[in-house]
Structure 1
Amino acid sequence: MNTYFKINQYLDEYTSLWPFSGAVLVINNEQVVFNKTYGMASIEHSVPITTKTKFKIASLTKQITCMGIMILQERGLLKVNDSIRKFFPDYPELNERITIHNLMTHTSGLFNDFSVVDPYLMLGKRLFTHQEVFDLYKDLPQEFEPGEGWSYCYFGYYLLGVIIERVSGKTYAEFLKENIFEPLGMNNTGLDDYIEILPNKANGYYASGERLVCCEIDTMSAFSAGAIYSTVEDMILWDQALYNNKLVSQNTLNEIFTPFRNNYGYGWFIDEVTNRRRVRHSGGGNGFSHQYHRYIDERVSILVLSNYGFSNSFDINENIAKIIFNEKYSSPSKPRKSELDMKVYDTYTGVYQEEGFKLEVKRDNELLYFVQENKWVMPIYPISADKFHHTWIDREYVFEKDDKGQLCFDGLKKVY
């Protein structure tokens, strides 16, 4: 059985058990060996996903932003070790020790992500201006000294986009179009703007109870941290450019894929899987869930794009990699329900919160569930004393204690 049929069989089994909508692309040695789409770009209008469907790629934007910075460095217009104060003399609040390198590697120490503001306001259908974003973040205290820690940071990547604008004299969108997208022929990739009519654009969906719901957030204000849209066809061209030196030299590509703290390079996580070097990144929000993994020595790339924000794109990607490399992988299956003393579950009930995100674990007689952000009801069932599974989507949740003995659920700490 050849690779295409093995991957196709796996995905047929998977989609028979779990809801999935999106596209799966596999490239081996620059040859597309699998390229198939599933589900609907618009459920409301019965529009199927195709290879021309435009997905909001969310944080996959970060690797493209970093490429823009490195193009400017090759042209001698900046250096990654430059202090960001060089580009923001009008903002003396910014720590002069922070470099562009720190921004790209999430080691700036700048206040992290959306906890300063309601994330559903920041990611609503309203475009924040640069001034508004700066006013939200510029006076907040550093989380750590530059280079001495690691924290995934939206504001740091937002600053990179503004640096591109200030150095190039172009808007971020114009610079990417002229220097990345047009040279590569990526004619269906750009910066999302919800007021513009964009043909073939996928809607994002999430889950509540046992039904799909429309996503109410947008990526527009994520800017250079997450506002790009693209298609499977264009991502093939992007993937090729990361091998053929069409945009930057091999030395620059090596620099991009050099891990720093937390195994993060310039817009990529860098790790190893069964002795294979891998560069990868996720992208998503409540309406999208993407995983892009590249085994750069074997020249194998696997892209999973989904417009279901709950899709388990990571496991899908990893299992496809195991198929490609003829390794043992887990066939799709639904875990069995385990008996659980409700007194144990009652010790888990309560509110969990961290960095502005909140969920509440609850039960109603035998019905077990949690509620995210007071919006989405997620029904679960026990598969062990501390592990639970969603009733109809491919998601597992674990209750565990951190090193301080505090109970955590889905990465959030219990507050009461």
Structure 2
Amino acid sequence: MSKTFSDLSRSRLGRLVCLVLVMLLCTRTARADNTVTVEKVEVLLPPSAGAAVMAIDDGKVVFKHAWGNLRSDRTESCTVTTNFRLASVSKQFTATAILLLVDRGVIGLDDTLDRFFPECPEYWCRISVHHLLTHTSGLPDYEKLIPEGTTLQLTDLNVLELLRATIEPLFEPGAKFAYSNSGYALLGLIVEAAADRPFQDFIQSEIFEPTGMNRSLLYVAGMNRVPERAYGHELDAENHWIVGDQSLTSAVRGDGGVYSSLDDLQNWIATLDQEALLSDSSYTKMFSPHVRTDRGQQDYGYGWFLDTYRGERRVMHAGGTRGFTLMLQRFPDRHAAVVILLNRSALEPPADYVERIVDCLLFQSDE
């Protein structure tokens, strides 16, 4: 037995040692390269209590990292499974829920609001689901209708009542683009009415579960709980991060109530790349330029801003609410995407850092 080991093991052991050394060298090199990339991205990020960034190219993750804390007053660190409040990035999920019901023949894009909301203002009879999806409804901003002195959070039904009390639109429905949280709040209620299920339950079973977004949810206080939840932050007078997580409008669902993580958004982006959830017709409508926005050369589809960047087609949406700043950009022709999640209120325009991070991760540019 020992003679057999002596005769055979030397050459095998030598080869094994060489293999291990090569693997260690490759691992060290990969770690060194990754560390440099992490440091480069960290420098480009604005100050934040916590952050998470991911880049996908050709359908493969090329960068995924998290920094900082879930809460400034606790020790738990942010990870790739930390759930951030997506704010207006949530609108793509609301639009997807509507299109699922369109695909099933439950609602139509030309259906007007009087079908879903009895006793509505006369002008709602001229506002269609399409108008809501494209921010062309003319609905007043519900945020501006909140009575002075309000201290309790608004629900979707509170928003509905505020809008029902209005007499006329800001402009004739379909006449122009005007970004509207009001429209997406009503879209959530339309899903609820048409599907005869709570909106958060529909999103969970019809979008999150089929796409493997197993820890994401549409948050409703007292009804569900956000796992590994990042809390929002603001700067105090002494430039310290303090928890500032909820506003009067944070309980409204359709315009910004989703919580999700890098891991789950990776699955969501893959589903979009594969066009696996909706019909071809609905995906075409979602990413078609229905209206020119008031934001430079950008158009709007259903739940997405559309433009080009460095000669490539780009679809994207930013999100911002008390305590959170977020961005999801996709480059569908190359199956690429960048996700940036920060648990802090916006202190500067996202353009100051987002495109530099996109350049660093996808276009190999430090400019």
TM-score (normalizing by structure 1): 0.73
2:233 matched residue in structure 1: 205
Q: Deviations over 1:157-201 (max 9, x none)?
A: 111111111111111011111211111121111121234543311
2:60 matched residue in structure 1: 31
Q: CA 1:325/1:183 → structure 2, altered by over 3 Å: closer, same or farther?
A: closer
State the alpha-carbon separation in 2 of the partners of residues 19 and 119 from structure 1.
Answer: 31
In the TM superposition, what is the alpha-carbon distance from 1:204 to its structure 2 partner? 0.4
Letter in 1 for 2:251: S
In the TM superposition, what is the alpha-carbon distance from 1:92 to its structure 2 partner? 4.3
State the alpha-carbon separation in 1 of the partners of residues 280 and 357 from structure 2.
Answer: 28
Letter in 2 for 1:206: E
1:411 matched residue in structure 2: none
1:67 matched residue in structure 2: 96
1:279 maps to which of 315, 318, 332: 315
1:54 maps to which of 83, 93, 102: 83
Structure (1 or 2) with the larger CA radius of gyration = 2
State the alpha-carbon separation in 1 of the partners of residues 42 and 214 from structure 2.
Answer: 31
Once structures 1 and 2 are overlaid, which stretch shifts more, 309-318 or 252-261?
309-318
Letter in 1 for 2:289: P
State the alpha-carbon separation in 2 of the partners of residues 10 and 112 from structure 1.
Answer: 40
Show the 5 A alignment for 1:161-310.
161-195=188-222, 196-209=224-237, 210-218=239-247, 220-261=250-291, 262=293, 263-310=299-346
Q: CA 1:199/1:19 → structure 2, altered by over 3 Å: closer, same or farther?
A: closer
Secondary structure, counterpart of 2:288 in structure 1: coil
Q: CA 1:328/1:198 → structure 2, altered by over 3 Å: closer, same or farther?
A: closer
Q: CA 1:118/1:50 → structure 2, altered by over 3 Å: closer, same or farther?
A: farther
Show the 5 A alignment for 1:68-217.
68-117=97-146, 121=150, 126-128=153-155, 130=157, 132-140=158-166, 141-195=168-222, 196-209=224-237, 210-217=239-246
Q: Deviations over 1:15-60 (max 9, x none)?
A: 6x84462100111111111110011001212111011111111111
Letter in 1 for 2:290: F
Report which of the two has the higher share of helix.
2
Preserved CA contact (<8 Å) 1:94 1:138: no
Q: CA 1:290/1:311 → structure 2, altered by over 3 Å: closer, same or farther?
A: farther
In the TM superposition, what is the alpha-carbon distance from 1:11 to its structure 2 partner? 1.8
In the TM superposition, what is the alpha-carbon distance from 1:119 to its structure 2 partner? 9.2
State the alpha-carbon separation in 2 of the partners of residues 36 and 320 from structure 1.
Answer: 13
In the TM superposition, what is the alpha-carbon distance from 1:317 to its structure 2 partner? 2.9
Once structures 1 and 2 are overlaid, which stretch shifts more, 99-108 or 272-281?
272-281
In the TM superposition, what is the alpha-carbon distance from 1:236 to its structure 2 partner? 0.7
State the alpha-carbon separation in 1 of the partners of residues 259 and 71 from structure 2.
Answer: 16
Letter in 2 for 1:245: E
Preserved CA contact (<8 Å) 1:303 1:317: no
State the alpha-carbon separation in 1 of the partners of residues 315 and 176 from structure 2.
Answer: 21
Report which of the two has the higher share of strand.
1
1:360 matched residue in structure 2: none
Preserved CA contact (<8 Å) 1:40 1:49: yes
Q: CA 1:278/1:120 → structure 2, altered by over 3 Å: closer, same or farther?
A: farther
1:8 matched residue in structure 2: 38
Q: CA 1:213/1:275 → structure 2, altered by over 3 Å: closer, same or farther?
A: same
Once structures 1 and 2 are overlaid, which stretch shifts more, 209-218 or 278-287?
209-218
Letter in 2 for 1:207: L
Tell me which of the two structures has the higher relative contact order, counting C-alpha pairs closer than 8 angstroms and 6 or more residues apart: 2
Secondary structure, counterpart of 1:115 in structure 2: helix
2:353 matched residue in structure 1: 316
Preserved CA contact (<8 Å) 1:125 1:217: no
2:18 matched residue in structure 1: none
Secondary structure, counterpart of 1:297 in structure 2: helix
Q: CA 1:7/1:102 → structure 2, altered by over 3 Å: closer, same or farther?
A: farther
Preserved CA contact (<8 Å) 1:290 1:305: yes
RMSD: 2.4
State the alpha-carbon separation in 2 of the partners of residues 91 and 82 from structure 1.
Answer: 14
In the TM superposition, what is the alpha-carbon distance from 1:65 to its structure 2 partner? 0.4
In the TM superposition, what is the alpha-carbon distance from 1:217 to its structure 2 partner? 2.0
In the TM superposition, what is the alpha-carbon distance from 1:225 to its structure 2 partner? 0.7
Q: Deviations over 1:184-239 (max 9, x none)?
A: 12111112123454331111001133222221524542211111111111111111
Once structures 1 and 2 are overlaid, which stretch shifts more, 294-303 or 304-313?
304-313
In the TM superposition, what is the alpha-carbon distance from 1:129 to its structure 2 partner? 5.1
State the alpha-carbon separation in 1 of the partners of residues 204 and 48 from structure 2.
Answer: 35
Preserved CA contact (<8 Å) 1:83 1:98: yes
Letter in 2 for 1:203: Y
Letter in 2 for 1:250: D
TM-score (normalizing by structure 2): 0.82
Preserved CA contact (<8 Å) 1:85 1:94: no
Preserved CA contact (<8 Å) 2:72 2:241: no
Letter in 1 for 2:235: A
Give the count of matched residue pairs. Answer: 326
Structure 2: gaps of 5 or more residues: 1-28, 294-298
In the TM superposition, what is the alpha-carbon distance from 1:325 to its structure 2 partner? 4.5
Preserved CA contact (<8 Å) 2:156 2:252: no
Q: CA 1:177/1:13 → structure 2, altered by over 3 Å: closer, same or farther?
A: closer
State the alpha-carbon separation in 2 of the partners of residues 179 and 19 from structure 1.
Answer: 33
